[in-house]
Homo-oligomer: A and B are copies of this chain.
Amino acid sequence: MSRQLKLNLFIYPGGHHEAAWRYKDSDPDRVLDLSYYAELAHKAEAATFDAIFLADGPALAENIRYASRFRIEPFTWLAGLAAVTSRIGLIATASTTYSEPYNLARLFAGLDHLSKGRAGWNIVTTGAANAAQNFGLAEHPVHAERYERAGEFVEVVTKLWDSWEDGALVADQESGLYADDGRIHTIDHIGQRLRVRGPLNTPRTPQGRPVYVQAGSSEAGRSFAARWAEAIFTAHQTFENAQAFYSDVTARALGLGHAQPLILPGISPFIGSTEAEALALKAEFDELTQPEHSLHQLHRMIGVDLLSYDLDGPFPREVVSTEGERGLGSRFQVVLDIVDREQPTIRQLLHRLAGARGHWVVAGTPEQVADHIEYWFRNGAADGFNVMPPWLTGGFDLFADHVVPLLRARGIFRSEYTGTTLREHYGLPRPDSQYDQLPKTTYATA
């Protein structure tokens, strides 16, 4: 089969537009109901999507008055969705800064087992500084420190997932041998930041390890992605930026002798039966935004408070500083690019960012949206997309019902699943355990 798009549904409780919850067809009362998410997962599975995806962070955002900013805990909610679906992948965001590797390895093992091989891990180091105080720290570790821990953390959990070789669970009723302890290994990790003995307390999972996904766009983030990522989530406003990112990260991975990771930008589509209808729909959403909230969001992205400025005046480019940690955030450069390219007023910039927090927003007919997707896909800017509907569930219905059939008709997206695991959907190999080749010694018995 020719190269196929990878498509994820990125679920944000009310939808991705910051005013989604105020839209007349949204369901703000259902955002804590499993049935709401199950409907989305079923719809995505019927549309043969590769995966659903949940973002995460272990702290409450500060600007909670005007937008849906709470979090649904990814492992419990995705496990619930695993039980009512059979094919679609389940990608959980989890932090290497604010998790214990043993506990996190267990959660992913659980999700991969019970879903029969559909788990993916969006590896993040947590950008929100206020998380630190939820974990007994006075200060959020700086960017470089977080990435150093992240590298060691991934090494550790990889060893834990490998610590039971395939076949270690024997369960031979006749002989009485339940587990072949020669195929179960302590990992004995003693590193700069982590000490973990292992083994994991559960057998190797259907996929061996969850699919490794990463989303950093800083220098450290790209290096990390090249080293570890099997898929990369990324935010771009223009084809040129996306293409440059694609080339850069691909070259880094190949340079390390690694397989080329899948690159999956976000896309937030407003879909109408005419372009004018789609644009009007987008305008309707922008009208529902609340500037106090939007300005706070912008403040978080670029470190500048514009509350005292005229919203309809020009964006004051000169007040933005790239110094310190701020310039390392994944959205900082995205915002500056928009400013430099479009010279927007503050209000125009806020509306540009309201759609999907810096991700690519398109408005058009199903054909136009499919054209955008196909163009990026065929021209070295994307292997697929994280679809980020402006609102849920209706905003996704439009994509599934009207865009997906076009992508299928063009031969770039599957009409049925050919595999059962997320690795199979993504065309990734199932890794061997790194302990497979070791002598079969006996796991300690007292």
Contacts and interface: CB of A to CB of B under 8 A. Distances in A.
Interface stretch (A55-63, A240-248, A321-329, A415-423): A55-63
A197 B130 contact: yes
A65 B203 contact: no
Contact of A133 (B21, B84, B197): B197
A72 B171 contact: no
Interface in A1-42: 21-22, 24, 28-29, 32, 34, 38
A116 to B, nearest CB: 8
B83 A38 contact: yes
Given A79-B76, A136-B194, A179-B64, A103 B114 contact: no
A199 interface: yes
A135 interface: yes
A435 interface: no
Interface residues of A, number: 81
A119 B6 CA distance: 36
A195 interface: yes
Contact of A79 (B75, B135, B300): B75
B99 A64 contact: no
A239 interface: no
A134 B77 contact: no
Nearest to A289: B176
B134 A72 contact: no
Nearest to A446: B62
Nearest to A64: B179
Given A79-B80, A102-B134, 8 more contacts: A34-B83, A70-B169, A73-B109, A77-B79, A79-B79, A98-B100, A130-B197, A299-B446
Contact of A100 (B21, B135, B443): B135
Contacts of A130: 197
Contacts of A58: 102-103, 106, 201
A119 to B, nearest CB: 9
Given A72-B202, A79-B76, A195-B133, A65 B177 contact: yes
A110 interface: yes
> How many identical subunits does the complex contain?
2
Nearest to A111: B76
Interface string A157-186: 000000000000101010011111100100
A446 B63 contact: yes
Nearest to A57: B201
Interface string A107-120: 10111011000000
Given A73-B202, A201-B58, A63 B445 contact: yes
A136 B75 contact: no
Nearest to A34: B114
A109 B76 CA distance: 9
Contact of A134 (B67, B113, B134, B198): B198
A81 interface: yes
A200 B60 contact: yes
Contacts of A203: 32, 70
A179 B75 contact: no
Contact of A80 (B73, B107, B114, B446): B114
A32 to B, nearest CB: 5
7 contacts: A24-B173, A63-B446, A65-B177, A65-B180, A68-B178, A73-B110, A79-B79
A317 to B, nearest CB: 22
A38 B300 CA distance: 44
A364 to B, nearest CB: 27
A166 B173 CA distance: 52
B65 A178 contact: yes
Centre residue among A71, A76, A443 by max chain B CB count within 10 A: A76
B134 A196 contact: yes
A256 B445 CA distance: 44
Contact of A107 (B21, B64, B76, B136): B76
B136 A195 contact: yes
Contact of A60 (B24, B75, B201): B201
A77 B38 contact: no
Nearest to A177: B65
Contacts of A173: 21-22, 24, 28
